[in-house]
Every structure is written in C-alpha cells, then in structure tokens.
Homo-oligomer: A and B are copies of this chain.
Amino acid sequence: MNVNELNVKKTAVLFFDMLNVYYHGAPRETQQRMKPVVDNAVRLMNGARRASLPIFYAMANHRPDGESRSRIVTDTDMRLRPWPNGDCKPAVHGATEGSWAQKVIDEIAPQPEDYVIPKFRWSTFHQTYFDLALRSCGIDTLIVSGGAVDVGVASTVYSARDHDYTVIVVSDACSNSHEDSVAAFMNTVFPRMARVRTTDEVLEMIRKGGKLNQLI
C-alpha cells in the first residue's frame, strides 16, 4: 500500500487518555501547552465523524483502593524524580473509576455510538476488549491522538504494531512533557512502525479516502 493512502472503511480514531486529570485538572502551564493539541483533536474528531469513522476512547480506570495497580519497581516516579531514599512507592492513580478526573474532556466527549475502552495499564490493548472491538468492526488502521507520547501512546503503538494494525500518529494532536523523547519517537521510532502525520494531513487523507468510498 502507498504511504499516502487510507481505506476509510477500515480506519478508526483512537483518543488516548484525553482525560480531565491531564488537562482541565492540570496546572495552568500544562493546559497552555496542551491547548493546541486539544484543538487539533477536536478538528480530527469532527473530520472523523463526518466520514463516519468509528471513534474509540482509551480511558485509564483505577480502583479508589488501588488494589489492581501495578507494583513494579522503577528508578523514578512518573515525573522522573528518583524515589526518596530509593524507596519505590507508587501512588494510587488519580483517574479513579467514576471520578470527574477520569472523564474524557468535554471538548471531544464520547457519543453513544462511540467505544470507550477502560484500561488498567498503559497499553490500550492490555487486557481490554479493544482488539476484539476493532476486529468486529473490520478495522485495520488506527489514527492515534492523545498523550503522553512516551508512556501510553508509545505502549499502544508498539502493541498495535504487533497486533498487525497500521497506525497513523497525529504528531500535533499528541502531547508529552519530555522534548527529547517526543522527538526520538516522532523522528526515529514511529516512522519504522507507523506513519507520522499532522492533523491537516490526516484530515486530507480522510477526505480523499472518503471520496473514493463515496462516504462524504
């Protein structure tokens, strides 16, 4: 297949962890950094809805009592701060089931026909019904927007690659705190396992693909 083609009948959009806790509940500077990403996600969503692409939302889903959380040992916490005295103690995650923090941001709120995938680890594929739903819908291509690039997005793209899904990472509709890793993923890692495109480019691919299929 040519790298500029898209079969819109086999394509879905995935919004990854676009949750209140990471945006409306985040510090002002994070909100400012993420604003253009959210704007692009909105444009992407609108384009996808016009072409009738199925839309999926990956949503972190944790128990208030922290019982199902990961207990692995890491060098640092999620902000790259080493553990005090080397004592690794992961906090209970903020996106607890049913909380405001966990809800998808209103800007791209899920509709009844959309798919919401509660997830318990980083990858959207890990012990969820994501692959089952994609297969049932006949999807083989995923357009991915969200964050963080080097955490859940990367984890999901690696999984998607191994599950034989073609992925398009929408570079300006993805967020990340770390400049070095986002550059490495976009320039060096993703091009060998996916396609990297801007929102404008993806909207154009959807438009062209939709015309071919007389969907738009």
Q: Tell me the A residues contacting B by CB distance below 8 Å.
A: 1-5, 65, 67-78, 80, 82-83, 85-88, 113, 118, 120-123, 126-133, 135-137, 141, 150-151, 154-155, 158-159, 161-167, 178, 180-181, 183-185, 187-196
Contacts and interface: CB of A to CB of B under 8 A. Distances in A.
Nearest to A65: B113
Contacts of A69: 136
Identical subunits present: 4
Nearest to A187: B180
A2 B75 CA distance: 9
Contacts of A192: 74-78, 80, 151
A175 B94 CA distance: 36
A72 B165 contact: yes
B75 A194 contact: yes
Given A67-B137, A78-B192, A73 B123 contact: no
A161 B190 CA distance: 20
B74 A164 contact: no
Contacts of A164: 70-72, 132, 135-136
A191 B135 CA distance: 24
Contacts of A128: 127-129
